[in-house]
Structure 1
Amino acid sequence: MNSRRTKSRCPHPVLPTRKGDMTRLGVVFRPQLPPERLRAVTRTADDVSLEELWLWEDCFREGGISTAAAALAWSERVRVGVGLLPVPLRNVALTAMETASLHRMFPGRATVVVGHGVQDWMAQVGARPASPLTLLGEHLDALRALLAGQRLTVRGRYVTLDDVGLDWPPDTPAQVFAGATGPRTLRLSGARADGTVLTASTSPDGVRRARQLVDEGRRETGRTDPHTVVVYLLAATGAGAETRLRAELAAEGLESAQDVGVAGDATAVARAVRRLAEAGADTVVLQPTGDEPDPEGFVRFTAEEVRPLVP
């Protein structure tokens, strides 16, 4: 095992905290890994008491619901998030059926996120909508209502339902998050979702702005319930960490971005997490580089070395 992955014998300095703070910490299982790697990563996450494991439904790699169901079945306690399901690919009734099944089989352990998806990918499969914002709003409204046990008849621009209700809605309220980047989608998420997921291209200042826009949407619709903000943090540690981070940022067109990504030891990573939390993130999910050489070790590093430094 690489020494960067073993728990340090010397205590790290604990970062300063604000009274009442509690930041949740997670890790992404990148879909660049083959699906058969998921079992070992999931079991490691459970063994080291990682709080959250996140999965992506990236075209054309791995299905979000299928991998989430497997991860939940292979574990006992880790919370599993799917961030995100592209709504152009999915009939809302199917999304509701699959989401409800996860919530009933694994109560309190699943988080489902829906979003626009990458529009070029949507075009490849003939599903690119003329108005992604309209589609997402209709999908969110119908999905939340179906999961709440309502029976719907809807004649929207994209969502059409005729007397549809779930036979097996969740036993307890099921939250639905939205992935968002642009101002209009962030306001929509605040108004019509229960939480918002931000990409790894989001700096601390970007989190502050996103939280403001989400809150604008909430105020417009009179919502006062809690709204969770989740942000991915591109992170690299161990040998070659800085090089791997820079290569990934360059591949994503983010080489000139400020305050995006972190490379270094647990103290450096925890400090970056703390800055995002101070900016308004409730959950920070560490996103390893696509070429991370030791995914299980990255999970251990997060839970055993970074977690103790984050309030």
Structure 2
Amino acid sequence: MAMPPVRFGLNVDPHAAGVPAATRITAIAEAAGLEYVGVQDHPYNADFLDTFTLITWLAGRTRSVRFFPNVANLPLRPPAMLAKQAATIDALSGGRFELGLGAGAFADGIAGLGGPRRSPGQARAALSEAIDIIRASWAGEPYAHEGEHYAVPGARPGPRPAHDIAIWLGATGPRALRLLGAKADGWSVSSPYVPPARLAGLNAVISEAAAEAGRDPGAILRLYNVAGLITDAPGAGDGSGTFQGPVAHWTDTLVRLHAEHGMTAFVYWPARDRERQSRLFAEEVVPDVRERLPAAP
């Protein structure tokens, strides 16, 4: 069973007034050799810029770090056009875009912008259809799709992305996780919603579904958005203290999460003092974790 190398990233918020800070945090990730910058996607928030436009803007100011929406709001982004946006950003950035995708939280906000109000089952079915449409679009050949939630009667997609864009799902329910294991390339989950104690059980659902679909469970990226603080002394900022403490505590925690739960990517969301905290993570925690992990095959 293949195991991808452990990767690291920083969170950037799309606040309209926070673009200078977003630019500086992205530069920290780039300079430290981190792999990812993630940007949340909540179009109904009045003070948020459009996530895809912000990613394009930041990608034009970098050369190596990769970007992903964490995660894209599917109900407000039709999948054929979402595929076009993703392929465009990937082509313009030289293959530095991955697609985080969510079925859509915050139903009132989505409906307020004219998006559909879906039940959990409908949202999951729409997500499954969207994955098929997006992959067909990236393949670059004409296709048609007629489904319960989306109709694409005669698509002529292109240009193709610069690399094989991964699809990472933001999912926590067992049925959505089974969909992930069967169809997606990765899992993007956040510590405030899924604490470490739940990772083993949810990871097992993904792995079982992948194996049943004839896929390698170890090839599925397991990305953990870790929210907390790097401090001089341990604390309980997240209710348990797991994600608050000195650099050595963070190093031990991330190494353990990789060893015990197979988490293969960590994106840091500081609770406050974001630029200084991002620099501590990128320049002190990440090198320590990489030194303690076995070399990638």
TM-score, normalised via structure 1 length: 0.81
| Residue 283, structure 1, aligned to residue 271, structure 2 | no
Q: Distance in 1 between matches of 2:56 and 2:246?
A: 32
Name the counterpart of 2:9: 26
| Residue 228, structure 1, aligned to residue 221, structure 2 | yes
**Alpha-carbon shift at residue 144 of structure 1 (Å):** 1.5
Name the counterpart of 1:103: 90
**Unpaired runs of at least 5, structure 2:** none
Matches within 5 A, 1:116-127: 116-120=103-107, 121-127=109-115
Q: Which amino acid aligns with 1:122?
A: I
| Residue 129, structure 1, aligned to residue 118, structure 2 | yes
**Alpha-carbon shift at residue 195 of structure 1 (Å):** 1.1
Q: Distance in 2 between matches of 1:146 and 1:21?
A: 26
| Residue 160, structure 1, aligned to residue 144, structure 2 | no
| Residue 303, structure 1, aligned to residue 285, structure 2 | no
Q: Distance in 2 between matches of 1:280 and 1:108?
A: 26
Name the counterpart of 1:267: 248
Q: Which amino acid aligns with 1:308?
A: P
Matches within 5 A, 1:29-178: 29-31=12-14, 34-58=18-42, 59-60=44-45, 61-120=48-107, 121-127=109-115, 128-130=117-119, 131-178=122-169
Q: Distance in 1 between matches of 2:141 and 2:209?
A: 24
**Unpaired runs of at least 5, structure 1:** 1-19, 247-254
Q: Distance in 2 between matches of 1:22 and 1:193?
A: 18
Contact 1:262 1:269 (8 Å CA) reproduced = yes
Q: Distance in 1 between matches of 2:144 and 2:286?
A: 46
Contact 2:190 2:227 (8 Å CA) reproduced = no
Q: Distance in 1 between matches of 2:234 and 2:63?
A: 32
Change (3 A) 1:270 1:109: same
Q: Distance in 2 between matches of 1:270 and 1:86?
A: 32
Q: Which deviates more from structure 2 when the two are superposed, residues 220-229 or residues 145-154?
A: 220-229
Larger RCO (alpha carbons 8 Å, 6+ apart): 1
Q: Distance in 2 between matches of 1:172 and 1:93?
A: 18
Q: Distance in 2 between matches of 1:115 and 1:176?
A: 10
Name the counterpart of 2:187: 196
Report the count of equivalent residues: 277
Q: Distance in 1 between matches of 2:185 and 2:194?
A: 20
SS in 1 for 2:89: helix
Contact 2:32 2:283 (8 Å CA) reproduced = yes
Contact 2:232 2:246 (8 Å CA) reproduced = no
**Alpha-carbon shift at residue 148 of structure 1 (Å):** 2.1
Change (3 A) 1:30 1:265: farther
Q: Which amino acid aligns with 2:185?
A: D
Q: Which deviates more from structure 2 when the two are superposed, residues 219-228 or residues 277-286?
A: 219-228
SS in 1 for 2:215: coil
Contact 1:144 1:175 (8 Å CA) reproduced = no
Which of 210, 219, 240 is the equivalent residue of 2:202?
210
TM-score, normalised via structure 2 length: 0.85
Q: Which amino acid aligns with 1:63?
A: D
Q: Which amino acid aligns with 1:51?
A: E
Same amino acid, percent of matched pairs? 23
Contact 1:54 1:83 (8 Å CA) reproduced = yes
Q: Distance in 1 between matches of 2:243 and 2:163?
A: 38
Q: Distance in 2 between matches of 1:158 and 1:78?
A: 35
Deviations 1:147-174 (A, max 9, x none): 1223221111111101213220114322
**Alpha-carbon shift at residue 109 of structure 1 (Å):** 1.8
Contact 1:204 1:275 (8 Å CA) reproduced = no
Contact 1:81 1:111 (8 Å CA) reproduced = yes
**Alpha-carbon shift at residue 241 of structure 1 (Å):** 8.2
Change (3 A) 1:211 1:172: same
Q: Distance in 2 between matches of 1:53 and 1:197?
A: 13
